[in-house]
Structure 1
Amino acid sequence: MAAPFEIMVARIETLALDAIVNSAKPDLSPNGALDAAIRQAAGPSLTAHTNGMPALDPGEATLTPGFNLPARHIIHTAPPEWAEGGEEGAKIAALAGCYMSAIKLAQLQGFASMAFPCLGTGRLKWPRGFACAIAVAACEQALTEAPGVKRVIFCCFTEDDARLYRAALS
């Protein structure tokens, strides 16, 4: 496995890092299980903060404080839905863009450590192995222009997901 990648089976909202990444709705309104867990741990200030923020296009990222989280910041990104209509290549580019824009934002903010969930594999219905391959390739590409980002964790909710990331990085 190439540095700076780590694979962890954990709840992302428990990690003490510079930033964790949240799979957000484009309008940054409360979302599925991952977003709900992050919002619960961060406290009501997070929702109050995101209520006034501009919407994201698929693949874009934006930043908020971590509020009550152990992580100092949250990078919110808006993955596209796999099963919805639209050109497949554009959806793949948007999912890759989520990872790339989050790393670019981390680099611009001077963050050294960050964690990604398995973006798109829950309610957005991306095939897990396919989404994993996109994640690894996009992160490898983005890190070539982000020398300050020294630690990238793929935070998996299940051991099955972690196995996919281990295989992709071996």
Structure 2
Amino acid sequence: MKTYTIGRTSVSVFLGDITTWTGDIIVNAANSGLLGGKGVDGAIHSAGGPEIMEQCMEIRKEQGGCPPGNAVITGAGQLPAKHIIHTVGPIWEGGGRREEHTLAECYRNSLLLAMKVGARSIAFPNISTGIYEYPKGPACDVALKAVTNLLEEDLPDNRLERIEFICFTPENEELYVQWLEQFTQEKEAHI
């Protein structure tokens, strides 16, 4: 695990299984119907039990799902986290359909929702890089820029002490570590 500090928040990257993570909030790379699915979404629903789906169905009744880039929150069922933020990443269609903007909004809106509920820790998967086929390198760039930009805003309701990126593949882990190392080196050079 590699850890970096941005403002008062530690940002870590490691290879692992998000369903076993202990903290306040895990982020689920959901589909817009909030109906469970494959990849990380399927793993979270399977490990967390039926109460997650029941809460997702309540959200569907209230607002008809979750559009790409948006985020909603449920309990975590049987998972060790306290809550799940479900966000819907973009399906990669070559980059000409505002996928970068939508992916950045997934991270930003998830963090804002976490701050709204007073979370101190949050864990992200690599949103959209699995079955939605967003290229891993550009997805890493979007994710970390969105997170670091929001942390640099120094928002008054930000109580986040820990943000963790839980990578499913060694390739993603390496990309995130390299990006954060370069980011911190550039920050130190400007001090």
TM-score by length of 1: 0.94
Task: Please give the alpha-carbon distance, in whole angstroms, between the structure 1 residues aligned to 2:88 and 2:160.
Answer: 21
Identity percentage of aligned residues? 34
Q: Note if 1:58 corresponds to 2:68.
A: yes
Task: Please give the alpha-carbon distance, in whole angstroms, between the structure 2 residues aligned to 1:48 and 1:164.
Answer: 36
Cα RMSD (Å) of the superposition? 1.4
Rg larger in structure = 2
Name the structure 2 match of 1:2. 5
Segments of 5+ residues of structure 1 without an aligned counterpart are none
Q: Note if 1:131 corresponds to 2:134.
A: no
- What do the CA deviations read for 1:82-130 (whole angstroms, capped 9, x no partner)? 127x844x22111000000000001110000000000000010000000
Query: 1:141, CA displacement in angstroms?
Result: 1.4
Bigger CA drift: 48-57 or 157-166?
48-57
Equivalent residues in 2 for 1:133-148, closer than 5 Å: 133-143=141-151, 144=153, 145=155, 147-148=158-159
Task: Please give the alpha-carbon distance, in whole angstroms, between the structure 1 residues aligned to 2:49 and 2:112.
Answer: 26
Moved over 3 A (4+): none
Task: Please give the alpha-carbon distance, in whole angstroms, between the structure 2 residues aligned to 1:162 and 1:87.
Answer: 26
Query: 1:47, CA displacement in angstroms?
Result: 1.0
Bigger CA drift: 127-136 or 146-155?
146-155
TM-score by length of 2: 0.84
Segments of 5+ residues of structure 2 without an aligned counterpart are 182-191
- What do the CA deviations read for 1:64-83 (whole angstroms, capped 9, x no partner)? 00111000000000011012
Bigger CA drift: 138-147 or 2-11?
138-147
Equivalent residues in 2 for 1:63-102, closer than 5 Å: 63-83=73-93, 87-88=96-97, 90-102=98-110
Report the number of matched residues.
168
